[in-house]
A and B are shown apart, each in its own frame.
Chain A
Amino acid sequence: MLSSFKGRLVATAFGAALAAAALAQPAQAAEKVVVCALTFVSSSPLFIAADKGYYAEEGLEAEFKFFRAAQPVAVGIASGDCDFGVTAFTGGFFNLAGKGALKVIGAQSREEPGFDFVGFLASNQAYEAGLKSVEDLPGHSFGMTQVGSSFHYNIGLMADKFGWPDDAVALKPLQSVPNMIGAIKSGQVDSIALPAHIVAGLTGSGSAKLIGWVHDYTPWQLGGLFTSAKNVSERRPVVEAFVRAYQHAARDYHEAFNKLENGKRVFGSEAEALVPIIEKYTKAKPDAIYAGSPFIDPDGRLKVDQIYQQVAWMKKKGLVDESVDPKSFLDLSFISGHYGVPAN
């Protein structure tokens, strides 16, 4: 029963493919890809590529689907609703990737020295009581979105760097960024970590105090560009074309936002030209775009060793299953020049 139904399905699909191929003959129709992302500045290369027509140059027709959290993007790739996605790496992402549905093929943003991205904030009460720097965090509470989130990893990196015991910082999952902001303002948690544009708002209004930037202590590979394992094995040319468009846009972004002069960031006319594009997709104000723009590698190269390190940390904390092996979900063949690739 089932097999005959499957057979018919395959036959129909085959027929449809033939018909499509016949139709496509004269004008080489664009290949459709569904791109899933969050409307964050860290997804900018995706938007720049769309706006400047880089996808079309590569013969791709990109359709965007936007999500409100990182996890659904990864789930969308696994379920086949999305072809490409960029988000931060989380415990949930690694567990899903470990089941074989996803392949990480390039980089999103990373914490790079000199580029303020995620900062640690102390509540006014805790600051008065002596929480003046990241090193004072033991003995205090730390609010974050969820267990296994990038915020959770930020505090974990810090604990490893300074050798704090496991329960030195009391972790408080608060589910969402607005809840974190509410909790730090009212002093219900002593500290949180948030992206730079929100940090600027909170410190500017005197609602919280900045006590350190992540990149000053623990640079790491925040997120990646990924696709389904099926795309890698069955639509390799499409993936290659998409990566070229992504790199093209990432280089534009690099020219505009990745400049440092004497350790300070500078934004020139290139940035001014890109801000309206980013504004269109993220609905963020130009000030917030400048403040919240992370470092994005111009070629989408990953800091591979840092991904191994993150997976190892997540495993140690029981957040990622023992069976998950970064080697199985990293496909480094699409982009050359990745950093810190393990020898074997």
Chain B
Amino acid sequence: MSIGDSGKETSVRFRGGGFAPRPKRWASWLAFAVIISAWQIASMSGALPALFLPSPYEIALALQAIAADGTLARHLGASLGRIAWGWSLGTLAGLAVGISMGIWSLARSVGIPIVSALFPIPKIALLPLLILWFGIGEPSKVATILLGVFFPTVISAYSAVDNVPRNLIRMGQSFDMPYAQIVRKIVLPGAMPGILAGFRISSSIALILLVAAEMIGAEFGIGAFILSAGNLMQTDQLLAGVVLLSMLGLLISALLARLERRVLKWR
């Protein structure tokens, strides 16, 4: 009930609600199904020649072939190892630097210009240098991913710490909480949403850099597989490799969603 212009009581319908998008699982699956079947039909009818784009069925066959002869496991194993090392080391270093920059003035004054200067460098351009420093073995591949992950993590951690509400910190101080406790119980949990959002970006970057990292001297790995399929004009295998990368992306995103639910329970 409310008072209208005329001063009379009128009933107004409830205007709240909406603006709260919820994932509808069936809709995402349906969209995938529609796109893939349209593609398959276009290929089968001849509107889409195999020379220019292989059909989803051919891509599935290519995937099945490498799964059957065991090379898929070797490619996945090699790539997951590189991503795990590169991403974890890059994330650890990035968090340490980013959080220090969020907390301490000196770290911030030194860090911001350096990060701004180094972040935009394409890591692929540094590949020859990384090879000179680390050789053509695993370390140069891990270093490529590490560098790619480090900078976005620094920036997300630093701005997440920066965005922790000051009044919460002031409240902690007025209750005479020790410095270390403020950092551990207020700053870090408050920065978690921003840091986890940064993880989503850095994990995607790690996947993107996989192809670059495996350009040099890699016999196995999804990136090496995609590159060699491209060199051999085996477009069905090329797209099979791309599908593998997207599936890895989906898997990592699902893992991160789980982590978010656990870590951000306090919200």
- Residues of A participating in the B interface, judged by any CB pair closer than 8 Å: 71, 74-75, 78, 90-93, 95-96, 99-101, 143, 146-149, 170-175, 179, 182-183, 186, 188-189, 319-321
Contact = CB atoms under 8 A, between A and B. Distances in A.
Contact of A91 (B51, B218, B224, B231): B231
Contact of B217 (A95, A174, A319): A174
Interface string B23-56: 0000000000000000000000000001100000
B136 interface: yes
Interface string B216-228: 1111000010011
Nearest to A314: B232
A148 B131 CA distance: 23
A175 B218 CA distance: 11
Contacts of B228: 146-148, 173
21 contacts: A74-B233, A90-B231, A90-B232, A91-B232, A92-B231, A146-B227, A147-B231, A148-B232, A170-B219, A171-B219, A172-B136, A172-B217, A172-B219, A173-B215, A173-B218, A173-B219, A174-B136, A182-B132, A183-B131, A183-B217, A189-B136
Interface string B234-265: 10000000000000000000000000000000
Contacts, number: 73
A99 B50 CA distance: 8
Contacts of A93: 233
B128 interface: yes
A171 to B, nearest CB: 6
Contacts of A186: 132
B219 A175 contact: no
Contacts of B232: 90-92, 95, 147-148, 319-320
B49 to A, nearest CB: 9
Contacts of B218: 173
Interface in B137-182: none
A189 B216 CA distance: 11
Contacts of B224: 173
Contact of B231 (A100, A149, A189): A149
B219 A95 contact: no
A306 B128 CA distance: 37
B81 interface: no
A319 B217 CA distance: 18
Contacts of B135: 188
B234 A95 contact: yes
A58 B258 CA distance: 71
8 A-B pairs with least C-beta separation: A147-B228, A92-B233, A95-B233, A146-B231, A172-B217, A91-B232, A148-B232, A99-B51
Most buried by A among B128, B215, B233: B233
A186 B232 CA distance: 29
A74 B51 CA distance: 13
Nearest to A148: B232
